[in-house]
Structure 1
Amino acid sequence: MARITKGILGGFSGKVGTIVGANWRGKDIIRSIPTPSNRPPSEKQMVQQMKFKLVISFLRPLGSIQKKYFGLNSGSKSRINLAVSYTINEAVQMVADVPELIYNKILITKGDLTGFQNVNATPQAGNTISLTWEDNTTQGNAAGTDQVTVICYNKELDSFAVFEAMAERSALTKEVALPAYYAGKEMQVWAYLNRAEEDIACNSSYLGALTMI
């Protein structure tokens, strides 16, 4: 059953015969009900489906970050859509017919804020990571109050450790302590900066694969 949402001349939501009405991004739309296909997917379609499944699974825990800081909403594409599309096209490779992520090509955030200058991450005793970067507050639209976020991922556990707004750009150094269950494990590490107003971020930086000690 369909439901009229704005009176007799307004849009409707639900199914009427062979059409479906909905409100999408503030616009009332009508589309036909797709016809199920009995045709098996082609090899190319199957590869694309595997890539899509891999990327969606990986990015899902980062959704709240990418909704704010991955490019700009573009027409029908949300920031999440843009992040998925970018990752599939730029950061996935096929190895023995199996899709794999290329970690050093992954962008967690994408934006026009001035990024880090010479940022480095090194593992330290006690299951910690030490970050250092250089002062570039005079460059572009950088500010000393820009917030630093560090993201760590372990493939074995398929698990993220996210440290949001854990330092300011002006700090130039920061240590993050990971939970004990990451001890001895390899972590893929990224960092990004966002403005204190939380309206813009830089392109994230990949800091390498670090084994915790």
Structure 2
Amino acid sequence: MGKFSNGIFGNFYGKIGNVVGSSWRGIDYLKSLPKINKNRVPTQAQVEQQHRFALMTDFLAPLRPLLDVGYKNQAKKATAYNVALSENIKNAITGNYPQFLVDFPALSLSSGVLLLPTNLAVAAAAELKVDFSWTDNSGKGKSLKTDNVFTLAFCPELDEVEYTLSEATRENGSLSMTLPAEWDGKEVETYLFMASANGKEVTRTYYGGRITVTA
């Protein structure tokens, strides 16, 4: 049963008939329930979009801690994860239905105008390591020595991810990830972005390319 808050002219919460009242992020909503046609057959475009949605949802779900940082500033009327999901569905899926695939070079984990460091590079190293390196360009734009580094390695063959959260800063100039033993000899996709210590400024995503892990 629905109810009014603060009198008849106040906020309405709950359900009365086919009208639902709710509040999200301090914004009050009134909306009617959708009419459901059980005999409705989805169009081909709708079926394809459903497959794109399922593919990207499955891929991004384990990356939520990264996306919550990378898309924090884009989360106005939707969550950071939902903004990232929408953007990657539009821009990071390749192939034709039903063989849709994640377009790894186009994948985005972050969105912002903070400058990436210069001379970014990613390389495989001994003992199952992936080495990220860069040149500290603190002082350019809003970049600071204290900007935190976030990295991701994804193994398509095993469908597994490894990532780091704030384990290095811009001034460090490098970060080394140690990957699981079962990743030895496997190819991995690599990514990096940075965010200010207060999370208000974020870089775009740097794609480090595909490398082969070696023990």
| TM-score, normalization by structure 2 | 0.89
Q: Are 1:10 and 2:49 an aligned pair? A: no
**CA displacement at 1:15 relative to structure 2:** 1.7
- Which 5+ residue runs of structure 1 have no aligned equivalent? none
**CA displacement at 1:65 relative to structure 2:** 2.9
Asked if the contact 1:147–1:166 (Cα under 8 Å) also holds between the matched residues in 2, the reply is yes
SS at 2:198 equivalent: coil
**Partner letter of residue 130 of structure 2?**
I
**CA displacement at 1:34 relative to structure 2:** 0.6
**CA displacement at 1:136 relative to structure 2:** 1.6
Q: Are 1:36 and 2:74 an aligned pair? A: no
SS at 1:34 equivalent: coil
Give the distance between the partners of 1:6 and 1:104, measured in 2 at CA. Answer: 52
Distance 1:5 1:80, change over 3 A: farther
**CA displacement at 1:188 relative to structure 2:** 1.1
**CA displacement at 1:68 relative to structure 2:** 3.3
1:27 paired residue number: 27
4+ residue runs of structure 1 moved beyond 6 angstroms?
Answer: none
**CA displacement at 1:7 relative to structure 2:** 4.9
| TM-score, normalization by structure 1 | 0.90
SS at 1:175 equivalent: strand
The CA RMSD over aligned residues, in Å, is: 1.9
Q: Percent identity?
A: 28
Give the distance between the partners of 1:122 and 1:84, measured in 2 at CA. Answer: 28
Offset from partner CA, 1:23-72 (integer Å, 9 cap, x none) = 12212211111111222111111111100111111112222332333242
**Partner letter of residue 56 of structure 1?**
T
Distance 1:8 1:67, change over 3 A: farther
Give the distance between the partners of 1:142 and 1:65, measured in 2 at CA. Answer: 19
Corresponding pairs, count: 212
Bigger mean CA offset, 50-59 vs 179-188? 179-188
Give the distance between the partners of 1:77 and 1:14, measured in 2 at CA. Answer: 21
Offset from partner CA, 1:65-105 (integer Å, 9 cap, x none) = 3233324234x344333212211111111246321111111
2:170 paired residue number: 169
**Partner letter of residue 25 of structure 2?**
R
Give the distance between the partners of 2:4 and 2:97, measured in 1 at CA. Answer: 52
1:54 paired residue number: 55
